[in-house]
Amino acid sequence: PSRSFHGNSRLLTSQIVSYYEPINQCQKELPEYFNFASDVLDEWARLEKDGRKPANPAFWWVNDEGEEVKWSFEELGSLSRKAANVLSGACGLQRGDRVIAVLPRVPDWWLLNVACMRAGIVLIPGTSQLTAKDISYRLQASKAKCIITSDTLAPAVESVLPGSQFLKSKLLVGQGSRHGWLNFKELL
pLDDT digits (tens, 9 = 90+) for 36-70: 898 888 988 998 888 888 778 999 999 999 999 99
Asked if residue 32 is part of any domain, the answer here is no
Instruction: Check: CB of residue 73 under 8 Å from CB of residue 45.
Output: yes
68-77 pLDDT, tens digit each: 999 999 999 9
Distances in Å between the Cα of 47 and the Cα atoms of 42, 50, 73 are: 9, 5, 9
pLDDT digits (tens, 9 = 90+) for 78-125: 999 999 999 999 999 999 999 999 999 899 999 999 999 999 999 999
Structural domain total, the chain: 1
Q: What is the pLDDT of residue 5?
A: 47
Question: Does a structural domain hold residue 46?
Answer: no
Phi, psi of 83, rounded to the nearest 5 degrees: -65, -40
Residue-wise pLDDT for 127-180, tens only, equals 889 988 999 999 999 999 999 999 889 988 898 888 788 999 999 998 888 999
**Distance between CA atoms of 106 and 64, rounded to whole angstroms?**
12
Residue 27 has pLDDT above 70, yes or no: no
The total number of residues shown for the chain amounts to 188
pLDDT of residue 28: 63
Residue numbers of the domain that contains 99 = 59-183
Does any domain span residue 107?
Answer: yes
Residue 8 lies in a domain: no
Is residue 4 in a domain?
Answer: no
| Contact in structure between 177 and 85 (CB atoms under 8 Å) | no
CATH of the domain at 172: 3.40.50.980
Q: Who wins on pLDDT, 56 or 15?
A: 56
Angle at CA 128, nearest 5°, toward 124 and 133? 75
Please choose, from the candidates 113, 107, 116, the residue with its C-alpha nearest in 3D space to the C-alpha of residue 185. Answer: 107
Distance CA 96, CA 117 (A): 10
Contact 68, 60 (CB under 8 A): yes
E strands in 77-127: 98-102, 122-126
How many Cβ atoms from other residues are within 10 Å of residue 88's Cβ? Answer: 18
**Amino acid 52: pLDDT:** 84
Q: How confident is the model at residue 22, as a pLDDT? A: 65
Please, are residues 154 and 180 in contact by the beta-carbon 8 Å criterion? no
CB 136 within 8 A of CB 111: no
